[in-house]
Chains A and B, each alone.
Chain A
Amino acid sequence: MHAVTAHCLNRLAEAESVLVGGLHTAEHTSASVALQLATATPTHATLALLQDAAVAGYGVHSSFVLRLLGEAYRRTQRPLMACVAYRAALAVNPFLFTAYVSLMDTWPGDKPPPPSTSTTSTTNNNNNNNNINNNLDTDPNNIFTLDKHVDLSYCHGTTLCSVINSNNDAFLFQHYNNNSNSDINMSSNTNNPNNSSKNINNNGNNNIAVAMTTTATPLAPPLAPLATPLATLAPPLATQAPPLATLAPPLATLAPPLAPLATPLAPLATSGNRGGGGGHLVTPAVNVTLSCSQLCTPVGGTVTPAPLLLPPHLRQAPRKRAVGGGPPPPLGGRCKQSMLTHLTPSFGVIPLNPPSVGGGGGGAGSPHSSPASSHPHPSVRRSSRLFGSASSVKENNKARGIVPPTTGRRCKPRALRPSSTPSTSTPSTSTTPSMPSSSSSMPSSSTSTASSLIELNNARNTNPSTASIDENIMPGGGGGGGGGVGGNILMPSTGVNTNTTKPTPTPALIIPPPAAADSKPTPQQTPPPPPPPLVVISQEELNRQALGLQKQAAEGLMSLLRLIGEAYRRLSRYDLASSIAAFEALPPHHLMTHFGLTCLAKAHFHSNDFQTSASYFREAMASCPYLLQELDYYSTALWHLQQEAQLSALAQQLLAVDKGRAVTWCALGNCFSLQKEHEAAIKFFSRAVQVEPTCCYAYTLLGHEHVATEELDKALGAYRGAVRLDARHYNAWYGMGVALYRQDLLAPSDVHFRRALAVHPTSRVLLCHIAV
């Protein structure tokens, strides 16, 4: 059964075979059967069935599985099923923004998709997906169940507050999300890893890095894609973490998988890391919100292969967190990113208190105390948590076991993140109204929480088990997991209040990190030994608080997702004026991410405002020079503006970055087309198509060139290829209309123009063409 399902899925998702294969390890046969049934009966009624089956079968992976399934359906021309699957994925995991983006892109357009797919509390009606309301409830609950972690390689050994587990899960989610994002070139979702890398919270990074390391072994293949970005991120973080050496082994494990992915990810990662690293670096200063630009700019220059990055960084990071978190945090951050996609760096950038935590692997107990004292900001807490688990620099990598640290950390980062949007460490909640209270209380509580958490962590770190650190890290990583993490952030603040009472016992339990610092180089997946009973008690309390905080943070994230989702929805409906307004209404640190800028640029592009579009693209490129997501549109904007020098400069730059992307060859083709050398342009566009057969814009441009050379039959073939890939690509429909017009087949030409118009109702050019 299992095999059959696997085969089924593999057939559908040929490109994601690695990930699917990885996921299959966690399947249960019953679930797979159910899933098969669900796939066999594609109706809307099966949404719930699909969801249940996926959740039962894949547990924590269900949302990713569903998203993959959706992607498979999309590729095999079953858009309705794809939409169903995406919605199910979103129902299971409302933070799966990539699924939302795919949903937007696939929606046939006859009936507008419900806009609330990314909303949690307010579900406006999704035709069948009315679980969004419950999602937030069920998700964390699901996550918080321990049994789900049975499959996870990285179990925390300790009592594991559910929070911690959920953190891990969240992390896992993110992880998978990142994985899928990274290995699947989802057009719309490629931003996620990018964003995630950008937004890598120091915390997140650490956590993720830790989580990554822990999960690395079992999930090596899926991790590979994620690992690379994380790895790249990790190094910067690692730099901060003092005990990098301990992390080196875990990172080494990540390095191989990272290596293949190094190129595309490295730049991103480095940028992300930079930001994260910069953020984290030792900054007692709260202002950690690294803007995307921050993240990207420092890194921009450094495109070092991920594996290389890891080891050196690992050695350096004075911060433990960085060390352990080096790889994990980036992952975590990234994971989170992928989930949240558009979460701006403000989210991701929670400064870790590296110095205090600095003890990193070797930090002795002192780091613990220092973090406690120096947690003016959440980041500090995070770091403290990390350091709390300091002993577990390596431990961090391995197990996310440490619940308190992680939860505390997650909470803090989360709290920080929403509040950090204004790029200040102030707890002000930016976009999440639900978090104002928590955020406000965060700073103070955060420190106390941090300290308490650290203490807890320390207590938990009784053994050098990696778990403790991991947990610390995990929270950050888990945060990525989406709401869960957010909740974590909140939790610390609330937890802090309650925890204040607890710190007293915990300090007693603080185990000097040095002991733990023997950082075992091996990223053990084995859960750390259970913490002493004293710690357990506090952990339970902490768990409860963590849960509460998590939920709050999740709500905050949800509201942000809602905003971004709404804006993106308008863009995909080509309701351009309102989408531009919606995007501009986003808080600036969110808008300044690569995703936000490219969306805005595309909105302007489709409304034929090429100057503005080009300027936005320029900004996006300046902020993240290695994110090539939508730059083929940039090259076309320059083509329209006839800016030959800029276009050729863009082409050169893209060539230098990555020759294997269709975007590069599209830019080159546009260059030559601008010079009227259509034959050469045809060659380049064919190469683009060859390099990335799933890039529908390359087909469209190829078609345009064929029309220019009067080879109308070939043009029609190219346009058909584009439409096969993406039925909502109005450019291709327009091109077909033009080609048929040239052949004087007026009626079919009219049909195609109208179809293009159906997709893009406000295109002036289209209207003119139809008029003629």
Chain B
Amino acid sequence: MSLNQSARSTVAGTAAEELDPSKEERAGRVREVGSQAVWSLSSCKPGLGVQQLRDNCLESYWQSDGPQPHLVNIQFRRKTTIQDVWIYANYKADESYTPSRISVRCGSHFNDLLEVEVVELKEPTGWLLITLKDLKDRPGINTYMVQIAVLSNHQNGRDTHIRQIKIHSPVRDAPIAVYAPCAFTSLALRSNQTIR
């Protein structure tokens, strides 16, 4: 899995301006599940830690303070289907702190991680989307733990800045997915889908 998927490493140089995780959330197809997980970092500078990574503010950032690779560990209470990983990085602001190679690993615990995606960045200036696919290329990986590893930075910087990370999970709208194999799109049918 790791070899095949590392071969799929994408070059996401310029994160398009139109990429925005909240738009996806508002569309209702995905949900941000970071709040259901326990976040931990390999290292951080005081005052620039997990809080700043998760505070929905693009001005505050996490700064690592140790040897490479820098790790962000996200552990869920139960197996969660992770579809998207969004990372906000800004070369103009962070320069040598901007990550250039990011690896996403999934598994059940620290010693059971498999690399799922490797992404190369070229001077990113916004949101970066990493879509996780399982072995059969279906979107979303069902896992307990996700680890985001920063393998190297621009200009060979030692530490890294990451401004925001979001995790998206697909939403199951209809409680009964069986009799609604396709989500109703018309208003009339959708209003009859559930009792509220």
Contact = CB atoms under 8 A, between A and B. Distances in A.
A678 B27 CA distance: 13
Interface string B59-78: 00000000000000000000
B191 A608 contact: yes
B196 A640 contact: yes
Contacts of B27: 676
Nearest to B27: A676
- Scoring A636, A640, A741, A756 by chain B CB atoms within 10 A of each residue's CB, the highest score goes to A640
A731 B31 contact: no
Interface size of B as a range? 20 to 34
- Scoring A730, A742, A764, A772 by chain B CB atoms within 10 A of each residue's CB, the highest score goes to A772
B192 A772 contact: no
A707 B26 CA distance: 17
Contacts of B190: 640, 642
B194 A765 contact: yes
Interface string A655-688: 0000000000000000000011111000000000
A734 B171 CA distance: 20
A49 interface: no
A741 B176 contact: yes
A40 interface: no
Contacts of A437: none
Contacts of B194: 738, 765
Contact of B176 (A701, A710, A769): A769
Chain B binding surface SS class: loop
B196 A676 contact: no
Given A675-B26, A676-B28, A742-B175, A765 B187 contact: no
Contacts of B25: 676-677
A765 B193 contact: yes
B111 interface: no
- Scoring B26, B28, B35, B192 by chain A CB atoms within 10 A of each residue's CB, the highest score goes to B192
B178 interface: yes
Interface string B17-35: 0000000011110010101
B26 A731 contact: no
A707 B187 CA distance: 21
A640 B191 contact: yes
B179 A734 contact: no
Interface residues of A, number: 34
Nearest to A608: B192
B19 to A, nearest CB: 18
- Scoring B28, B172, B191, B196 by chain A CB atoms within 10 A of each residue's CB, the highest score goes to B196
Contacts of B193: 765
B182 interface: no
Given A676-B28, A704-B196, A735-B195, 12 more contacts: A636-B196, A640-B196, A641-B187, A642-B190, A677-B25, A709-B31, A756-B195, A763-B195, A764-B192, A765-B192, A765-B195, A768-B179
Interface in A273-308: none
Interface in A719-767: 730-731, 734-735, 738, 741-742, 756, 763-766
A198 to B, nearest CB: 30
A678 B36 CA distance: 13
Nearest to A768: B179
Nearest to B26: A676
Interface of A: 608, 610, 636, 639-642, 675-679, 701, 704, 707-710, 730-731, 734-735, 738, 741-742, 756, 763-766, 768-769, 771-772
Contacts of B26: 675-677
Contact of A741 (B31, B36, B175, B195): B175
A766 B187 CA distance: 18
Nearest to B36: A710
Nearest to A765: B195
Nearest to B172: A742
B195 A772 contact: no
Contacts of A771: 179
A412 B187 CA distance: 52
B28 A639 contact: no
- Scoring B36, B190, B195 by chain A CB atoms within 10 A of each residue's CB, the highest score goes to B195
Contacts of B187: 641-642
Nearest to A697: B196
A289 to B, nearest CB: 38
A639 B171 CA distance: 18
A713 B111 CA distance: 30
Nearest to A700: B196
Nearest to A769: B176
Contacts of A742: 172, 175
A772 B191 contact: no
A768 B28 CA distance: 23
A738 B195 CA distance: 10
A610 B191 contact: yes
Contacts of B171: 708
B114 to A, nearest CB: 25
Nearest to A709: B31
Contacts of A765: 192-195
Contact of A731 (B33, B176, B192, B196): B196
A738 B191 contact: no
A742 B171 CA distance: 12
Contacts of B191: 608, 610, 640-641
Nearest to A640: B191
Interface in B134-193: 171-172, 175-176, 178-179, 187, 190-193
A642 B190 CA distance: 10
Contacts of A642: 187, 190
Nearest to B25: A676
Contacts of A675: 26
Contacts of A679: 35
A751 to B, nearest CB: 16
B195 A734 contact: yes
Nearest to B30: A676
23 contacts: A608-B191, A640-B191, A676-B28, A704-B196, A708-B171, A709-B31, A710-B33, A710-B36, A730-B195, A731-B195, A731-B196, A741-B175, A741-B176, A742-B172, A763-B195, A764-B192, A765-B193, A765-B195, A768-B176, A769-B175, A771-B179, A772-B176, A772-B178
A640 B33 CA distance: 25
Nearest to A732: B195
B186 to A, nearest CB: 11
A704 B191 CA distance: 15
A361 B127 CA distance: 77
A102 to B, nearest CB: 24
Contacts of A764: 192
Interface in B31-56: 31, 33, 35-36
A641 B190 CA distance: 9
B196 A639 contact: yes
A772 B179 contact: yes
Contacts of A730: 195
Contacts of B179: 768, 771-772
Interface string B87-115: 00000000000000000000000000000
